[in-house]
Amino acid sequence: MSNITISNGARPLRFITCGSVDDGKSTLIGRLLYDSNALMLDQLDALAAASRKRGGANASTDAIDLSLATDGLEAEREQGITIDVAYRYFATPKRKFIIADAPGHEQYTRNMVTGASKSDVAVVLIDVTKLDFSAQALELLPQTIRHAAIVGLLGLVHVVVAVNKMDAIDFDELKFERVVAAFTKLAQALSLPAFTAVPVSALHGDGIVIHTERTAWFKGPALLPLLESIDLDASSGAHEARTAALIAVQYVTRDALDDHRRWICGDLAGSALDVGTRIRAWPSGASAIVTAINTPRGATSSAACGEALSIALDRQLDVARGDWVIAETSERDEVQPVRCATATVAWLGNAPHTQSRRLLARHGTRWLPVRITRVFSRLDLNQGRWIELDESDSDRANEGVTTNDLVNVNIEFASELPLATFAACKALASFVLVDPSTNVTAGAGMISSVE
């Protein structure tokens, strides 16, 4: 069940809390901040005042409504819910953290997708008070299933399941194991990575920073030590080793001192890039050798994956915004210029998709028309599994993809793109769908196979 490896020189970790509405996501983050001494005195005073105004606390520090630590919008505090993704930063002696608190309400699923797309780890909360333990088969909530599916869609390889409000069931170990079994079944159906489950009470602090007597039966680490120990390099290293370095070109600029020199600018994805590497530009197919690299750190001989950079080449190439620069490797078959592919799409637009609807896709920095030709399966939130659609069902599905649906589709781009599956390259597999009539994001997709 565990997918955690220990890390010593750990880099900052970005994690998102997700799950159904009122599962305690904001309270859990507030408890993490409070118990790790990450809240300043003025912040505690402001939280105490806000808690009294809301009627959820008296003057004592212990009664502060910790969920308010991340609910920054006035509307959120008035309604007691999270609407936007709230980000908080804190550090322990072992690690720095960036937390994204995602909204649990169904209508704000698009905000959860935004937060999860930038995260390294997903902490999925499950509220035990909402589960029917009298049922023979324990069923998870639809929004929990939806968020878990999005975690899988975005390729997060580190998943922690925080089984929350254990105090409401007297920290019953058998019920905890039933929740773990239910999520294990869901993970298998959705092809999620291995996960680690932790029993917690965000309200009282059990299992958050340390285990208490009430969670003494649990032999694994508490939530914070678990997050401190996650080794991101162990999971990314093998993937980067087989993925070529690539840059989605943002713009090309002229050198201030050498009028004949051009700098190609963008963010580095895939793997590290070194001076001396031979690259190939797409779509021109022309190749050149990297002669210089600049990053925010200054001139360097090597740039790491994720860095913003500009590169100079030994000869000028026809490269513009929307193009790709890809390092040549012995495994060039992972990048295939194609028009048609199979993808999983999270539909985020308010308007339902129809077969005649015009859409634009953003792939890297390139915009181009795109068409969904067929919807062939849909995630059933009640059953927690993908339901295959026959031809007649698929025809109806093309006219009925609505907000927050997760569907597998055949998709056709207006021109060839260097596409790859997520297993090969996340950057080349990701795209966003936009309604050109409103400029509203309609969906987010991930290539699962190329044709």
Output the average pLDDT for the chain: 82
Same domain, 321 and 262: yes
**Is residue 319 a part of any domain in this protein?**
yes
Can you list the pairs that 285-288 forms with residues at least 24 positions away whose Cβ atoms lie under 8 Å? Answer: 286/317, 286/318, 287/328, 288/313, 288/314, 288/315, 288/317
Within 8 A by CB and 6+ apart from 6, the residues are 229, 231
Query: What does the pLDDT look like over 410-451, one tens digit per residue?
Result: 999 999 999 988 777 888 999 999 999 899 888 889 999 987
**6 within some domain:** no
CB 448 within 8 A of CB 376: no
pLDDT at 326: 93
Band of residue 384 on the pLDDT scale cut at 50, 70, 90: confident
Domain shared by 319 and 344, yes or no: no
Question: 131 with 140: CB under 8 angstroms?
Answer: yes
- Domain containing residue 97: CATH number: 3.40.50.300
Could you tell me the pLDDT band of residue 235, with boundaries at 50, 70 and 90? low
399 SS3 class = coil
CA distances from 273 to 66, 141, 242, 276, 329 (A): 44, 44, 13, 9, 12
In Å, how far are 48, 80, 264, 356 from 144, measured between CA atoms?
A: 31, 19, 42, 32
Given a cut of 70, is residue 367 above it in pLDDT? Answer: yes
Residue 348 reports pLDDT greater than 60: yes
Whether 145 and 251 map to the same domain: the answer is: no
Provide the pLDDT for residue 248.
95
Query: Per-residue pLDDT for 362 more than 50?
Result: yes
Instruction: Single out the residue in 328, 354, 389 at which a domain terminates.
Output: 328
Q: Give a yes or no: residue 182 inside a domain.
A: yes
Each residue's pLDDT tens digit, 88-128: 888 888 899 988 876 655 555 667 777 788 888 999 999 99
The enclosing domain of 413 has a CATH number of: 2.40.30.10
Specify the residue for token string 């859990």: 28
pLDDT confidence band for 17 (50 / 70 / 90): confident
Asked whether residue 172 is assigned to any structural domain, the reply reads: yes
Q: Is residue 1 part of a domain?
A: no
The DSSP symbol for 309 reads E
- Domain coverage including residue 261: 245-328
**Dihedral (CA of 344, 350, 355, 359) sign:** negative
Split at pLDDT 50, 70, 90, the class of 234 is low
Residues 160 and 271 in one domain: no
Stretch 350-368: mean pLDDT, rounded?
Answer: 86
Q: Which of 328, 352, 379 represents a domain boundary (last residue)?
A: 328
- Give CB contacts under 8 A, 24+ apart, made by 98-101: 98/12, 98/13, 98/14, 98/15, 99/14, 99/15, 99/16, 99/17, 99/29, 99/32, 99/70, 100/14, 100/15, 100/16, 100/17, 101/16, 101/17, 101/25, 101/26, 101/29, 101/70
- Whether 129 and 253 share a structural domain: no
Residue 196 shares a structural domain with residue 47:
yes
Residues 250, 218 within the same domain: no
User: Does any domain span residue 4?
Assistant: no
pLDDT at site 103: 64
Strand partners, 309: 266
Instruction: Report if pTM > 0.85.
Output: no
Residues 174 and 221 in one domain: yes
Same domain? 155 vs 61: yes
- Cα–Cα distance, 135 to 320 (Å, whole number): 59
* Distance between CA atoms of residues 69 and 43, nearest Å: 8
Number of domains into which the chain is organized = 3
Residue 373 lies in a domain: yes
* Residues 38 and 141 occupy one common structural domain: yes
Q: Are 305 and 269 in contact (CB under 8 A)?
A: yes
Are residues 249 and 210 both part of a single domain? no
Residues 322 and 373 in one domain: no
On whether residue 5 sits in a domain, the answer given is no
CB atoms within 10 A of CB 51: 19
Q: How confident is the model at residue 249 (pLDDT cuts 50, 70, 90)?
A: very high
